[in-house]
Amino acid sequence: MKLTVIGCGYLGATHAACMAELGHDVLGVDTDADKVARLKVGDTPFFEPGLSDVLRRNLSAGRLQFTTDVREAAAFASVHFLGVGTPQQRRGYGVDLGYVEAAVDALTPLLRGDHLVIGKSTVPVGTAAALAQRMAVLTAPGSRIELAWSPEFLREGFAVEDTLEPDRLVLGTDPDTAESTAEQIVTEIYCDILSTGVPFIRTDWATAELVKVSANAFLATKISFINAVSEICEAVGADVSTLADAIGHDKRIGRRFLNAGLGFGGGCLPKDIRGFIARADEVGATQSLRFLREVDAINTRRRTAMVDLVAHACGGDVLGANIAVLGAAFKPESDDVRDSPALNVAGQLALRGASVTVFDPKASQNSQRMYPMLAYATSAAEACEQADAVVVATEWAEFVHMAPEEISDVVRGRVIIDGRRCLDPQTWRDAGWRYHAIGGPMRATAVPQQSPQRSRPTSSQVTGDIASRT
């Protein structure tokens, strides 16, 4: 089948490549000429494991093309996916629908005959209904354009896998039309995926839109729940990681998304819960999502708690201290630094007077653009040179598996602060390091040994310091 994908950012580029991988003839469209030039040679403007291979394979097979010209899209196919960005508004919690509206405005008047437009972007409930009205005004006489909404649930780092092996497909159509062709067309597009038994949920526009933001709100709530519990664990000296394992064994709860630490960031979860809150206000249901404000607040205060813990580990203050921050991306296997807890912590430490050196295996360039005031290293060992404390802020495998010996001789103080509860405390203690974890002690390990480093004050205010508790 011939398809176009309008918008070739993270979602759109992945979707275009994966639709070609399913055997379709795909034209990706984006207004950014640089992005299109890179995609045409199979180069992704962002880091995503495996995506370049899929792009290159399908470019060489001739199933995948890219253009900046939306007129080509209108002539190329009669099915068009919308995958443009929906960022948070500059002011307030609402969602900026400018890119979606611009895409619809550009494409609709050019379409002749029967077309199906399938929205994939994450949008506030009610968007599809409003866009359909907008499109009706712009539709050329004699043409018929149907709008459907099929949200995408892909995770950065697993974008290809999530697109080709989704947990479910959701399709929302106009509840007031009896003439929808969307289900039949979408069934054809995804027939290889559906043949594996993937659940296919057909519903109305509003439900489809809400499925996506509800899923993200639930995930964010789960993370903030465990982080809230970790605050209690910090207060009483309990181990939130063991607690998460124990409650996670309950099949109704499940262990995933119960990793306490620095909390969630990225281009989706924070923005989506805020957009959901804003939409609830607009539809007169403010009270219903009031708890999401707390979910957001819990998440944000983990970052400050982490900065306090670093200060405590440095003797009460970071002023003048050299701090190595390992990790800048909002999560491993990504170079995305949007709303990154790691960079936020690095920035806060710098504001408190520390000399901060950041290393990230993939996100250094993006970080430099966003936080040019920080220093950047080209390796973990380089970042740790003369450091008084080392902060692990993103759980990249290379940090999780780093042996203390790799940096023990270059640092000035053997102090490590684990912002993702991803290290083995005993390994670090055995190597003479003072180990601290956000979210309370890590009980799975033995009693910490005496630190050879300079003495630390015991602050009952600052939490997560195992050494100060023993």
Q: Nearest approach, Cβ of 271 to ligand UDX (angstroms)? A: 9
Is residue 155 annotated as involved in ligand binding? Answer: yes
Q: Nearest approach, Cβ of 77 to ligand UDX (angstroms)? A: 25
> Which pair of tokens denotes residue 264?
């969630």
DSSP type of residue 226? H
For ligand UDX, the binding residue among 42, 124, 265, 347 (CB under 6 A) is 265
Give the span between the Cα atoms of 146 and 437, in whole angstroms: 53
- Indicate whether 393 belongs to the interface with ligand UDX (CB under 6 A): no
Asked if residue 430 lies in contact with residue 403, where contact means CB atoms within 8 angstroms, the answer is no
For ligand UDX, the binding residue among 95, 129, 171, 223 (CB under 6 A) is 223
User: Nearest to residue 292, comparing CAs of 352, 370, 214?
Assistant: 214
Give the span between the Cα atoms of 457 and 138, in whole angstroms: 68
DSSP β-bridge partners for residue 2 = 25
For ligand UDX, the binding residue among 9, 261, 275, 439 (CB under 6 A) is 261
Q: Nearest approach, Cβ of 183 to ligand UDX (angstroms)? A: 23
Give the span between the Cα atoms of 416 and 397, in whole angstroms: 16
* Residue number with CB closer to ligand UDX (421 or 429): 421
Count of residues that bind ligand UDX according to CB under 6 A: 19
- Indicate whether 155 belongs to the interface with ligand UDX (CB under 6 A): yes
> Which pair of tokens denotes residue 192?
């290889």
CA quadruple 97, 103, 106, 107: dihedral, nearest 10: -130
**């050019």: which residue's tokens?**
110
For ligand UDX, the binding residue among 104, 117, 258, 467 (CB under 6 A) is 258
Give the span between the Cα atoms of 117 and 123, in whole angstroms: 15
13 exposure class (CB count in 10 Å sphere: 0-12, 13-18, 19+): buried
Is residue 338 annotated as involved in ligand binding? Answer: yes
Q: What are the catalytic residues?
A: 268
* Residue number with CB closer to ligand UDX (263 or 347): 263
Site string for ligand UDX, 325-354 (x = CB under 6 A): -----xx-----------------------
Is residue 349 annotated as involved in ligand binding? Answer: no
* Residue number with CB closer to ligand UDX (65 or 216): 216
SS3 151: coil
- Indicate whether 268 belongs to the interface with ligand UDX (CB under 6 A): yes
Is residue 86 annotated as involved in ligand binding? Answer: yes
Is residue 227 annotated as involved in ligand binding? Answer: no
- Indicate whether 156 belongs to the interface with ligand UDX (CB under 6 A): yes
For ligand UDX, the binding residue among 116, 147, 160, 269 (CB under 6 A) is 269
Is residue 222 annotated as involved in ligand binding? Answer: no
Asked if residue 334 lies in contact with residue 313, where contact means CB atoms within 8 angstroms, the answer is no
* Residue number with CB closer to ligand UDX (330 or 428): 330
Q: Nearest approach, Cβ of 12 to ligand UDX (angstroms)? A: 13
Site string for ligand UDX, 286-325 (x = CB under 6 A): ----------------------------------------
Q: Nearest approach, Cβ of 164 to ligand UDX (angstroms)? A: 15
For ligand UDX, the binding residue among 190, 264, 376, 435 (CB under 6 A) is 264
Task: Note the helical H segments in 174-204.
Answer: 182-189, 191-194
Site string for ligand UDX, 114-153 (x = CB under 6 A): ---------------------------------------x
* Residue number with CB closer to ligand UDX (164 or 223): 223
Q: How far is C-alpha 339 from the chain's CA centre? A: 9
- Indicate whether 358 belongs to the interface with ligand UDX (CB under 6 A): no
User: Nearest to residue 330, comparing CAs of 373, 240, 268, 377?
Assistant: 268
Beta strands in 127-225, from DSSP E residues, in sequence order: 144-149, 169-173, 200-204
- Indicate whether 259 belongs to the interface with ligand UDX (CB under 6 A): yes
Q: Under 8 Å CB-to-CB from 397, ≥6 apart: which residues? A: 332
For ligand UDX, the binding residue among 154, 170, 324, 346 (CB under 6 A) is 154
Asked if residue 152 lies in contact with residue 11, where contact means CB atoms within 8 angstroms, the answer is yes
Beta strands in 340-470, from DSSP E residues, in sequence order: 355-359, 375-376, 389-392, 415-418, 434-437
Asked if residue 395 lies in contact with residue 329, where contact means CB atoms within 8 angstroms, the answer is no
Binding residues: 30, 35, 86, 122, 153-156, 212, 257-261, 265, 271, 331, 338
